[in-house]
Amino acid sequence: MASSIQLCAATTILCILAGIGWQKFCKARSQWMEDLELLGRPRKQKLHGTAVVCGGSIAGTVTARILADHFERVVLVDPELEDMEKPKTRIVQYNAAHVYLSLFVHGARKLWPNFDSEFLAVTGRLVPADSGIRYSGVRVINPDQDYPSGSFPESLVIRRSTSQKVLSRLLIQHPTSANITIIPGTIRGFEATSDVTSIQSVTVRKLDGTEAVLNDVAMVADCTGTTQAGLKWLRKAGFSLPENIRRSYDANLRYTTLNFTVPAELEAKLPIPESARNTMFAYGHLEHFAYGGRLYGLMLTDNNTMQLSLCNTDDNLPRVASDVVPWLTSIRSHAEVPTWFLETIEILCEQGEPWFDHTRIAPQSYIQYHKAPARTLPSNFIAIGDAVMQLNPVNGQGFAKILLSGIALNTLLLNTDPKASNLPTDFPARYFKTSAAYSQGLWDGTRLHDYGDVNCEPMDGNN
Ligand SMILES: Cc1cc2nc3c(=O)[nH]c(=O)nc-3n(C[C@H](O)[C@H](O)[C@H](O)COP(=O)(O)OP(=O)(O)OC[C@H]3O[C@@H](n4cnc5c(N)ncnc54)[C@H](O)[C@@H]3O)c2cc1C
Ligand SMILES: *[C@@H]1O[C@H](CO)[C@@H](O)[C@H](O)[C@H]1NC(C)=O
Ligand SMILES: *[C@@H]1O[C@H](CO)[C@@H](O)[C@H](O)[C@H]1NC(C)=O
Ligand SMILES: *[C@@H]1O[C@H](CO)[C@@H](O)[C@H](O)[C@H]1NC(C)=O
């Protein structure tokens, strides 16, 4: 499967080291690759009741779209959905540079057949899934032999602010939106059924301050991102989940994005070679672990803009344009950084109206719902996206991770009997188990990498 190359990227290095025997392991098809193809196919007889999606960012949008293929009604609640085009204020990384791996692109195309045309209309760039990353200046090897020239799957390069708006637009344009109700408001909590086996109702506070109670709840999906509100709501409603179900460590990451305005006249002055225009990062650089944990990359984004992202595990990041090139050149490397790249940054810092967005990335966390003892989770609860797992964003896996869980959810729902009045009691256990199997490697891989940095504060215990 095409998109496998990105999830396999880290493993690929190991495979090369370990020799040909590993090749088979790397290239084995996983169940999710088969199930990915089942996304976006509406079922004939819908499941009874209303599916409530808490949070309407990326996970909420993808989940609402999937659930609309399965349930009679979907309700999507988020305080920032009143005007979908308005910049989001509750997402710290809204102005941060993002990449969108081909797994996300492939899955989203299944959900929205007009994905490409809508993204191209706002001048989003669909480019071959070649990251353009150098490790200490040395180009990371691509699996070229598996993809004869030009046939890499596509990934997307665009500002997050633009992608977020386009995804919301895709959701409301799709025919299934006829059965999706959007409520601008904040979820306040759940009420359990009297036997505490499922969620009976969900309380919403609307923007005008009035409260509404959603009944007939067939499913509740926690898509509240960093807030991870679902866990608090479950405990408050009487579901007793183990104390240590939420694990976290702190990679101590600071992330700065510089965005540049680059009209055609300015772009013409930039010495960017043609070969660097057809990759995700025109130039991306990962510091050798023996020197430190710094990372930077330049992306050619939508609508005459470019973004330079800078990441560090301590607070030493440039704050003014004149400090940027000195910061870049202070990083030791095994191969030289190309002069065209440094010249480009110099010109952009002078003439590209640089604008800085500094963020302190929240600690990495994982609510291990799949380890909840049997029957402690309500039979109609799931969680998806950062509401479950917040990764070090260094590998740009956040959107792809949402798709992986979406695939697990979709397949389980396809196998659910529409004649039953409720979901089977083991539904969440099965969902979280599959979803965890698909994304555990992302957590382990980035975590073990982070543990190599002196500024990382590991989590307690071993798992
Ligand atoms: C600096 C940085 C760079 C990143 N770069 C990349 C990248 O390059 N590629 C990539 O794929 N990922 C990247 N990520 C990760 C990616 O941004 C996240 O994984 C993604 O935003 C998660 O989406 P989400 O919908 O789960 O949560 P969020 O985007 O955090 O959205 C949560 C939503 O829940 C809503 N909400 C919260 N509480 C309530 C409530 N009580 N009621 C109703 N709604 C509520 C909020 O309003 C918000 O809309 C990056 C992250 C960071 C921090
Ligand atoms: C591009 O940016 C300009 C100026 O910021 C804006 O007016 C225009 O609407 C944008 N175009 C698209 C397609 O987003
Ligand atoms: C909306 O729901 C009804 C009732 O379940 C169903 O018959 C109809 O096909 C749905 N519409 C769409 C566009 O999915
Ligand atoms: C840079 O980010 C700021 C804050 O989001 C935004 O107002 C501005 O339009 C952005 N400019 C570009 C070129 O992306």
- Largest pairwise CA distance in the chain: 69
**Ligand 3 atom closest to 177 (CA):** 13
Between the CA of 57 and the centroid of ligand 1 the distance, in Å, is 6
Q: Which residues does ligand 1 sit against, CB inside 6 Å?
A: 54-60, 77-80, 90-91, 93, 96, 98-100, 186-187, 223-227, 229, 255, 359, 361, 385-387, 393, 396-400
The answer, yes or no, to whether any atom of ligand 3 lies below 6 A from the CB of 73, is no
Angle at 440 between CA 435 and CA 444, to 5 degrees: 165
How confident is residue 24, by pLDDT bands cut at 50, 70 and 90?
Answer: low
Closest CA to 124 of 172, 174, 166: 166
| pLDDT higher at 461 or 173 | 173
How far apart (Å, rounded) are the C-alpha atoms in residues 199 and 196?
8
86, 95, 123, 262: residue to mutate for ligand 4 pocket, most atoms within 8 A of CB = 95
How far is CA 377 from each of CA 40, 116, 238, 431, 449, rounded to the nearest angstrom? 27, 38, 10, 11, 32
Ligand 4, pocket-test mutation among 162, 355, 357, 359, most atoms within 8 A of CB: 355
Of all ligands present, the nearest one to the C-alpha of 261 is 4
Measured CA to CA in angstroms, residue 371 lies from 92, 186, 434, 437 at distances of 29, 28, 12, 12
What tens digit of pLDDT does each residue of 294-305 get?
999 999 999 999
CA atoms within 13 A on the CB side of 80: 18
- Average pLDDT value over all residues in the chain: 92
- Going by C-alpha positions, the residue among 88, 84, 46 that lies closest to residue 68 is 46
Per-residue pLDDT at 27: 72
- Give residue-wise pLDDT tens across range 196-243: 999 999 999 999 999 999 998 999 999 999 999 999 999 999 999 999
- Residue 224 CA: which ligand 1 atom is closest? 34
- Spell out the residues 6+ positions from residue 287 whose beta carbon is closer than 8 angstroms to its own: 136, 293, 294, 295, 331, 332, 333
